[in-house]
Structure 1
Amino acid sequence: MALPLGGIAASATPASAAAYTPLPPHVYAPYYETYLAPNTPSLTATAQASGVRYFTLAFLQAAKKGSCSLDWNSSSTMPLDYYDADIASLRALGGDVIPSFGGYSADHSGTEIADSCTDVSQIAADYEQVITTLGVTRLDFDVESNSLNNTAGIARRNQAIALTEAWAAANGIPLQIQYTLPVEQYGLDPNGESVLQSAVAQHAAVTSVNIMAFDYYISGEGTVGMGQAAINAATSTHTQLASIFTTASAAQLWNMEAVTLMPGIDDKKTGNEVTNLTDAQTVVSFAQANNINLLTIWAVQRDNGGCVGKAGSNTCSGIAQNSWDFSNTLGAFTG
């Protein structure tokens, strides 16, 4: 359904502004692989076992390529309200969620909603519906693969974000927007920078730039240690952000940054890209010293030592560790 500029669907009528609780200024919110459902513990069960209280839910996608409707993982059996009861239980424990749009599979297949849907107003209505259905205050946009080079989709996404931000402001919702982007030690590639440059051009305010500090495609990048590699990437990204968000101070730019680690052996399977607990602690110390806003991992279901030697698993880290070691280390960042 096409909507006029600034209009919203009836289902996106916001609840009381008091119902929308901002995230802590510093938060550990690991990605939770929703596509493993129902064969994975619930958010609430994971929170109770791990001590984690905040999760980034991966991923919301178009129902199919060309669609303007959202489901979790393009699955008709997982509609937008699939996690409603689980999120309510998590909030009773003091937690919350960040819904994430896109991800590699959607970005590669054309089911990222701004790539799939060509109606900017409808995309904005989708974002608004996510906010009102889930009662959330931050949206994460994981842009990689083909989506990084889809200039029309990039523009639509940022135009829709700008509309959604205006709607949220009018309704007293403290909305935050996060972009999750691939990175190297030299920082973002030009297409990643272009996503943020488009946001500025389309007047879409960005709260957080979350760098994926793993799966480096340049040979040997992990040999300095994955913790130091993440610091190098964050430092390089900080320099790039200064040329994009030109009115922000250095301190404000650091506070815009976020870092995603992959516990254990990452997808490169080269043997030198292994994130250990010492790397995680290195990044926590760096994040605290520089006042960055978020730390996360891909993904919380990997935070265990159940498959020593296995690379790139969805359900274990591939290194010897106790369950929740990474979350125990990174969780100290929340506050």
Structure 2
Amino acid sequence: MKTSCPDPGLTSSPRTRTLRWLRRLAVAAVAAAILPISAAGAADASDAPAGTPPGSIAAAPYYYFDSYNRPDPVDIMRRTGIRWFTLAFVVAPDATTCAPQWDGGGSFDPGSAQSRAIAAIRAAGGDVIPSLGGGGVYKLGQACDSTEALAAAYQQVVDAYELKAVDLDIEGAEFADPAARQRNVAALKLLQDRNPGLKVYLTVPVFDTGFSGNGIALVDDAKAVNLDVTAWAGMAFWFGKGAIDMGDASIRAMNGMQTVVRDVYGMSDREAYRHVGLSSLAGVNEDPGEVITLQDFRQVLGYAHRHQIGRLTFWNVNRDRQCQADGSDLPDTCSGVQQSPYEYTGMVARYRQPAA
């Protein structure tokens, strides 16, 4: 199954087009400064279907450690009811070193800012899904030269935090590289075999009609090694179509993904919906005219509950706030739409995927 359309994974994203050199200066100045972390418990958001579990792992927005704006995640939990965060990103330090680190250079040591944040989230009743890869330059899927080496690198992350789940965000050159795609799914299969019960999410760029050719190839690769993908999340932005209805476009993308997953894995329609999901974006994208509004999120939330999709996330809680009127906000730290703080996160928190 192929497509001749340009692949969205080769389009630069808000993550890669940010002025990274300036961000490095800002991060260096606040290396230990994730905002003071409280031990307060989180409120519960409760308009989910009756009988569904609180704090669904399927609802896990991205939190980016290497951001200009690093709000207190426990405060976000308290304000919104969110229980899970997808933490961005675990990367390689350079093009050839097969050793995991947090984007921006953070370690997995208990004293690091990232590890302290994870401990605080868990103390407040939440948990985390580290995201492997992302939109940066150096990816473990390319730096590690064998399946075994890549699986060992991913195992270091699982062991460091005793994880229940990981997310592979595969895009850009890694997504376009057949060898890297195949190495990743084979390594994730080894990781699951060695860690029974580990959930694996795969996040990929998509068209507004569903998977690209590279995305379809990745689904085929995953099926070939019998990787149990908990959910395929489509990055439903950067469609290149300007001012379109992004709620409708997101739903078209998920419907197209569902058809591919159903056919490749031989699933029923209902089962296939439970194995697809959405990775969206809060507010205004750099793609001219593309805006994902709060109403788009409400539309997608209704779709998620109707079809019981397997994942609902977005980029990212760091930008889930209204921009300053004077234009003083640093890149990718506000949504560009009129909103209350963490309003997108609050809607994601309302999603509960019922038990199978």
Which of the five TM-score ranges fits, normalised by the shorter chain? 0.7 to 0.9
What does residue 17 of structure 1 align with? none
Deviation, structure 1 residue 187: 0.7
Deviation, structure 1 residue 233: 0.8
What does residue 228 of structure 1 align with? 248
Structure 1 residues 98-117: aligned runs within 5 Å: 98-105=129-136, 109=137, 111-117=138-144
Matched, 1:122 2:145: no
One-letter amino acid matched to 1:101? L
| 1:36 alignment partner, SS class | coil
How many angstroms apart in 1 are the aligned matches of 2:56 and 2:321? Answer: 27
Structure 1 residues 275-314: aligned runs within 5 Å: 275-307=292-324, 313-314=331-332
Normalising by structure 2, we get a TM-score of 0.78
Matched, 1:251 2:278: no
| Alignment check: 8 A CA contact 1:265 1:317 kept | yes
Question: 202, 215, 230: which is aligned to 1:207?
Answer: 230
What does residue 66 of structure 1 align with? 96
Deviation, structure 1 residue 74: 5.4
| Alignment check: 8 A CA contact 2:319 2:333 kept | yes
| Alignment check: 8 A CA contact 2:55 2:84 kept | no
How many angstroms apart in 2 are the aligned matches of 1:290 and 1:308? Answer: 39
Q: Deviations over 1:64-119 (max 9, x none)?
A: 110110110151xx1123322321221122111110011112xxx3x210111103
How many angstroms apart in 2 are the aligned matches of 1:278 and 1:178? Answer: 26
| Alignment check: 8 A CA contact 1:61 1:74 kept | no
| Alignment check: 8 A CA contact 2:66 2:104 kept | no
| 2:305 alignment partner, SS class | helix
How many angstroms apart in 1 are the aligned matches of 2:351 and 2:158? Answer: 25
One-letter amino acid matched to 1:79? S
Deviation, structure 1 residue 124: 1.0
How many angstroms apart in 1 are the aligned matches of 2:149 and 2:201? Answer: 20
What does residue 218 of structure 2 align with? 195
Structure 1 residues 133-172: aligned runs within 5 Å: 133-169=160-196
Bigger relative contact order, structure 1 or 2 (CA pairs below 8 A, ≥6 apart): 2
Deviation, structure 1 residue 49: 4.4
Deviation, structure 1 residue 46: 3.5
Unaligned runs of 5+ in 2: 1-52
| Distance verdict in 2 for CA 1:309–1:50, change over 3 Å | farther
| Alignment check: 8 A CA contact 2:274 2:307 kept | yes
Deviation, structure 1 residue 42: 3.6
Q: Which has the higher helix share?
A: 1
Q: Deviations over 1:241-267 (max 9, x none)?
A: 122212x22111100111122111112
* Root mean square deviation of aligned Cα: 2.2
One-letter amino acid matched to 2:259? T
Question: 5, 28, 52: which is aligned to 2:82?
Answer: 52
Deviation, structure 1 residue 313: 4.0
What does residue 342 of structure 2 align with? 324
| Alignment check: 8 A CA contact 1:62 1:70 kept | yes
| Alignment check: 8 A CA contact 2:133 2:139 kept | yes
How many angstroms apart in 1 are the aligned matches of 2:73 and 2:56? Answer: 22
How many residues are matched? 297
Q: Deviations over 1:1-45 (max 9, x none)?
A: xxxxxxxxxxxxxxxxxxxxx9965632110111127x5224334
| Alignment check: 8 A CA contact 1:309 1:319 kept | no
Deviation, structure 1 residue 213: 1.2
How many angstroms apart in 1 are the aligned matches of 2:57 and 2:254? Answer: 16
What does residue 158 of structure 2 align with? 131
| Alignment check: 8 A CA contact 2:247 2:297 kept | yes
| 2:154 alignment partner, SS class | helix
One-letter amino acid matched to 2:278? V
Deviation, structure 1 residue 151: 1.3
How many angstroms apart in 2 are the aligned matches of 1:312 and 1:176? Answer: 34
| Alignment check: 8 A CA contact 2:57 2:84 kept | no
Matched, 1:79 2:96: no
| Alignment check: 8 A CA contact 1:255 1:291 kept | yes
| 2:166 alignment partner, SS class | strand
Question: 195, 204, 208: which is aligned to 1:181?
Answer: 204
| Distance verdict in 2 for CA 1:206–1:308, change over 3 Å | farther
| 1:323 alignment partner, SS class | coil
One-letter amino acid matched to 1:116? A
| Alignment check: 8 A CA contact 2:141 2:174 kept | no
